[in-house]
Amino acid sequence: MRALLVLEDGTCVKGTGFGAEKTVFGELVFNTNMTGYQESLTDPSYKGQILMATYPLIGNYGTNKDNFESDKIQPEGYVVSEECDFPSHRKHGKTLHDFLKEYDVPGISEVDTRALTIKIRKHGTVKAALATYDDGIDADALIKKVREMPHPTTRNLVDEVSCKKKNSHKGRGKLNVVCVDCGVKRNIIRNLSKYCNVLQVPYNITSDEINKLKPDGILVSNGPGDPAHPEIKNTTVKMLNEIASDFPIMGICLGHQVLSIVFGAETFKLKFGHRGGNQPVKDMDSGKVYITSQNHGFAVKPDEKDELIFTHYNVNDKTVEGMKHTSLPVFSVQYHPEASPGPKDSIQMFDFFMSMIKREGRGGSITKA
């Protein structure tokens, strides 16, 4: 197949198509990880986006049934420099081409991803279209459609990836934690299950429903899109505002942004986001710098709030990477402690959460500091 990637500024990039034969639209973003392409492709936080890998060779160890972070491929399309069609790994199953084709997702290879990444870093993320085809295609019409389409973040992307019903995950110990699924990665549930039983619930669960469950703690997960989207404010933010003083709460990524909004902070869209496994984050309490994995396009504004203390900052651009409440057992981090690129720099955040739950009592019995 042939393939064409067009950007809203009129840039047209021709390449070789793989995966599904179709045309898709989304926000073009880049990820700097050297490995973990299957985990990235199945990460719900990429919903609504066309994902581009900066590492030049993708697909060299194939795909397998164990490295899924959700039930399917989440980005709208995939952009790589070179697609390897002869993977070599003892566990490899499908090739990257077959993997994308199975989930009806198109890909483009043989393009200069370095030049595209430099363009995004200079001008910011852009709306784009990716088309794979055998016959001809009208590039001008495609550019026109890209320019006229709404930005993907105007959609309630969380609703597209959140679970629709409660799912129980048996874990170790007697504690019970509710995971508010805004697009949760499986590895978050795996890590939580090492400490407790996990009940995965939809993002739009109400505070009354949470109270009936009587959890020992609540985790608000990662996810795609704008944390200040009206439908998120009317559901997840509203629910958390009503129960924030009743349970220990931890937030990860989008969960961090949503919790910050609950306590008066504002969020903004980053120029090109943080997506990769090499983001340095400084813990202001200990002075330590962690190497973290991240995937977000929005951040919390660093304006001081009466109820919030910002605890972590990104060393590269000084954006907020963590916060805690001044009196309630509530904290959050912008990065992904379960991904552990350090390899275990930040995994202790789950230990901290469990210690907080045990210290504050079970079933929502909160002792304010």
For 214-249, write each residue's pLDDT tens digit.
Answer: 999 999 999 999 999 999 999 999 999 999 999 999
Banded pLDDT at 341 (limits 50, 70, 90): confident
For 256-308, write each residue's pLDDT tens digit.
Answer: 999 999 999 999 999 999 999 999 999 999 999 999 999 999 999 999 899 99
How far apart are the C-alpha atoms of 288 and 290, rounded to whole Å? 7
Residue 110 reports pLDDT greater than 60: yes
Q: Hey, which residues are catalytic here?
A: 253, 336, 338
pLDDT score recorded for residue 304: 84
Q: What is the mean pLDDT of residues 1-22?
A: 98
Banded pLDDT at 368 (limits 50, 70, 90): very low
pLDDT score recorded for residue 340: 79
State the first-to-last Cα distance of the chain, in angstroms, to the nearest integer.
Answer: 62
% of the chain residues with pLDDT over 90: 93
Which tokens belong to 267?
């969020």
For 302-312, write each residue's pLDDT tens digit.
Answer: 998 999 999 99
SS (H, E, C) 194-232: CCCEEEEEECCCCHHHHHHHCCCEEEECCCCCCCCCHHH
Produce one character per residue of 271-298: b if its CB has 16 or more CB atoms within 10 Å, e if not: ebbbbbbebebbbeeeeeebbbbbbbbb
Banded pLDDT at 362 (limits 50, 70, 90): low
Nearest in space to 54 (alpha carbons), one of 130, 122, 115 = 115
pLDDT mean across residues, the chain:
95
pLDDT score recorded for residue 367: 36
pLDDT score recorded for residue 343: 81
Banded pLDDT at 366 (limits 50, 70, 90): very low
Query: Which domains can be identified in the chain, with CATH numbers?
Result: 2-154 (3.50.30.20), 157-360 (3.40.50.880)
Banded pLDDT at 32 (limits 50, 70, 90): very high
Banded pLDDT at 363 (limits 50, 70, 90): very low
Residue 4 reports pLDDT greater than 80: yes
Sign of CA dihedral 351, 356, 359, 363: negative
* Alpha-carbon separation of residue 103 from 62, 107, 181, 191 (angstroms): 15, 12, 22, 27
For 128-179, write each residue's pLDDT tens digit.
Answer: 999 999 999 999 999 999 999 999 999 999 999 999 999 999 999 999 999 9
Sign of CA dihedral 333, 338, 341, 346: positive
Amino acid at 277: G
**200: CB partners within 8 A, 6+ apart:** 163, 166, 167, 168, 169, 179, 181, 184, 189
For 42-55, write each residue's pLDDT tens digit.
Answer: 999 999 999 999 99
pLDDT score recorded for residue 198: 98
Banded pLDDT at 361 (limits 50, 70, 90): low
